[in-house]
Amino acid sequence: MSGWKPKPRDFTHPARSVPRQRGYGSESEICRAVANLLDRRSAITAGPGSEDDISSFEETFGVRLPEDFYEFLREHGALRLSGNFHILGLGDSSRVGPSVEEVTLLLQLEWGLPGNFVPIEDLGGNAFACLNCDKLDYGTIWKITRNKEATESKPEFLARSFTSYFFERLNTPKNKASQALEILKGHIQEYQRKFNYDHSRGGKLPRNHDWRPYRFCIQDVVFGSTVVRHSKEHNCLEVDVFLPAEIPNYEPLAGARALTTFLLSEAFKCGGSMEIRFTNKVPNHKIPETIRELASRSGVVIANSNTIAPGEAKLLYLALTAFSVDLQERILSLESRGKLNSVRACYVVHHGIWTREQVEMIVLGSAVPDVVLSGTVQPHERHLYQHSILHARLALLAGGLDRYLRQKKRSSDGEKTIELEDNLREFSTRFEAASNSLVFQSNEPLVIPWLRQEQQVEIPARIPLMVIVRARDEIELVRHFEADLVTAERIIAETNQPVFILVPADFRALPKSIMARFERKMESIGIKAMISPEFVANLDSEAAQKLARSRIIRQ
């Protein structure tokens, strides 16, 4: 920075052993505030810093850190709040970002940052909040900005101490939230005045180009609120309010994740370009930091300050849908060849048409997965429609098994079985397209359902369970089931793992002689049939309904 000359440094500052008067905003208050944030799971720290590391930093850069910042480094290392602010410090950079040492060195080399300044927060826009370690203004906080010409830029005073700066920044998000709440309140009042809609009475509903306030809830827990509309002029989704909630006992970004997923889904539903723009009513007229944090964790780079570009939105949508990396690559590969719309693959999951596991089966198993997911083929297009029905049927049959295995059950008095909606078993699934099989693996034992003659079979924890899925009706079972058993025998020989075959309830309607032949064959190769309670006719009826729902998801 031309025109900037470091002042001669004088290190005759008060020793750390000098007692400090403690009160509101003292360094002990900072520690208590951070501890409270950690208890609410709304912040992460790098963990306590060692005094040797702090002293090494001071010696390297020739500074003596103020007491309050020194204690912060010693107790917490560094701090990052979801969507609020990030205090640079020492510790594991993979958890909280670059260290104060890395940033100080970078700014001194690239900016010519005077040696008496220590950066403590990146404020964006080529600006940093910095501690002044010079004797004259020791311990004060200044905003250092590098302009476009990289020429002289005068420091701007921010706070009298790190403590003051910390609590001012900690309270800033509250002010922004209050402003957002006022904007949200205004939108709600205007919505009620204009549409007078009531859930019980009904009324006029808004169009996509009207401002629409939404509240996102799961049962009685509010995850956040937002206000959006489709811009006819720019063919994109505009966001006027983005107000995620910090929810105890949920991950720090749970509210932001829910709202961001909603924005991406709404951008697709409205038929726009997937571009998302944040208006000047959003704080700082910028993409909220919580969204940038989600994108960063997903490996997605957002280049613009207030707009998520269509390509960036697509990648972020794939990541937030929690598809596996391999499946994401497969989806993008199919999209590049014109065989799949990646955004639709995400939307059908969030719209509740298909689960992630069912989408994986359709994407990996169908030669034309977009035809199945879009539901655009009509019954008179016989071959493609039958293809869609078949793959939808397979996904539904497998989905029933997945739900059954995930649902934990608790017996009451040894008679009644109670299913607990919010108590689901966690396990991983993988689809093998070559054999049309699902592989389950759980950290808990899995009890196999739907076996003949009430057989009780339990797969131990962490042992892979392979299930060959065959959604065949009675006629198809007679024709192909023996070939399916040959496939099962080959898989058992190759993997030496438990293998089952999942079939619809039509299996029970087979003639007794054919059923006996199949059972002898299964017993000889060591495989058991899981007979779903669903008949093919029911599965096909539900498949047709899902295809019809898929056709009308965009407005």
Dihedral over alpha carbons 402, 405, 406, 411 (to 10 degrees): 150
Tokens of 514: 């054919």
Cβ 389 vs Cβ 543: under 8 Å: yes
Per-residue pLDDT at 315: 96
pTM over 0.85: no
Which of 127, 109, 110, 108 is closest to 118 using CA atoms? 108
Per-residue pLDDT tens over the stretch 416-428: 555 444 567 888 9
Distances 545 to 24, 25, 403, 552 between C-alpha atoms, Å: 62, 61, 20, 11
- Percent of the chain with pLDDT strictly greater than 90: 59
The span from the CA of 465 to the CA of 285, in Å, is 51
Tokens of 530: 């899981």
Architecture of domain 182-350: 3-Layer(aba) Sandwich (3.40)
Say whether domain 27-171 belongs to CATH 3.40.1580.10.
yes
Write the DSSP symbol of residue 272: S
Mean pLDDT of 8-13: 44
- Highest mean pLDDT among 90-99, 143-152, 178-187 belongs to 178-187
E strands in 83-235: 86-87, 117-122, 127-132, 141-145, 156-159, 212-218, 221-231
216-221 long-range Cβ contacts below 8 angstroms, 24+ apart: 216/255, 216/258, 216/259, 216/262, 218/258, 221/247
Sequence-distant (≥ 6) Cβ neighbours of residue 477 within 8 angstroms: 470, 503, 506, 507, 510
Is the pLDDT at 351 greater than 90? The verdict is yes
Per-residue pLDDT at 96: 77
Q: In terms of pLDDT, which residue wins out, 23 or 276?
A: 276
Is the pLDDT at 18 greater than 50? The verdict is no
Q: In terms of pLDDT, which residue wins out, 203 or 491?
A: 491
Sequence-distant (≥ 6) Cβ neighbours of residue 345 within 8 angstroms: 318, 321, 323, 331, 359, 363, 369, 373
Which of 278, 286, 340 is closest to 314 using CA atoms? 340
SS (H, E, C) 315-357: HHHHHHCCCCHHHHHHHHHHHHCCCCCHHHHHHHHHCCCCCHH
Residue 367 binned pLDDT confidence (cut-offs 50, 70, 90): very high
The span from the CA of 37 to the CA of 46, in Å, is 14
Tokens of 31: 């520690």
Tokens of 95: 């958890």
Is the pLDDT at 516 greater than 60? The verdict is yes
Which amino acid makes up residue 521?
K
- Percent of the chain with pLDDT strictly greater than 70: 86
Strands across the sheet with 127-132, in order?
117-122, 127-132, 141-145, 156-159
Is the pLDDT at 24 greater than 60? The verdict is no
Per-residue pLDDT at 407: 85
Which residues pair with residue 410 across a beta bridge?
Answer: 418
CATH 3.40.630 placement within the chain:
182-350
Does an H or E element contain 480, and which? Answer: helix 474-495
Mean pLDDT of 446-469: 89
CATH 3.40.1580.10 placement within the chain:
27-171
Is the pLDDT at 555 greater than 60? The verdict is no
The residue behind tokens 């990146």 is 122
Cβ 225 vs Cβ 215: under 8 Å: yes
Cβ 471 vs Cβ 536: under 8 Å: yes
Residue 36 binned pLDDT confidence (cut-offs 50, 70, 90): confident
Is the pLDDT at 76 greater than 80? The verdict is yes
The span from the CA of 358 to the CA of 349, in Å, is 9
* CA-angle at 96, arms to 77 and 225, nearest 5°: 125
Residue 554 binned pLDDT confidence (cut-offs 50, 70, 90): low
Per-residue pLDDT tens over the stretch 97-110: 789 999 999 999 88
The span from the CA of 373 to the CA of 205, in Å, is 28
Is the pLDDT at 484 greater than 90? The verdict is yes
Average pLDDT of the chain? 86
Residue 408 binned pLDDT confidence (cut-offs 50, 70, 90): confident
The span from the CA of 382 to the CA of 385, in Å, is 5
Tokens of 455: 């057989």
Per-residue pLDDT at 10: 46
Which of 171, 143, 177 is closest to 158 using CA atoms? 143
Residue 363: count other Cβ atoms within 10 Å of its Cβ: 24
141 CB-contact burial (10 Å; exposed 0-12 / middle 13-18 / buried 19+): buried
Does an H or E element contain 528, and which? Answer: strand 528-531
Strands across the sheet with 307-308, in order?
212-218, 221-231, 236-244, 276-278, 307-308
Per-residue pLDDT at 28: 59
Per-residue pLDDT at 329: 93
Is the pLDDT at 14 greater than 80? The verdict is no
Mean pLDDT of 540-555: 87
Is the pLDDT at 391 greater than 80? The verdict is yes
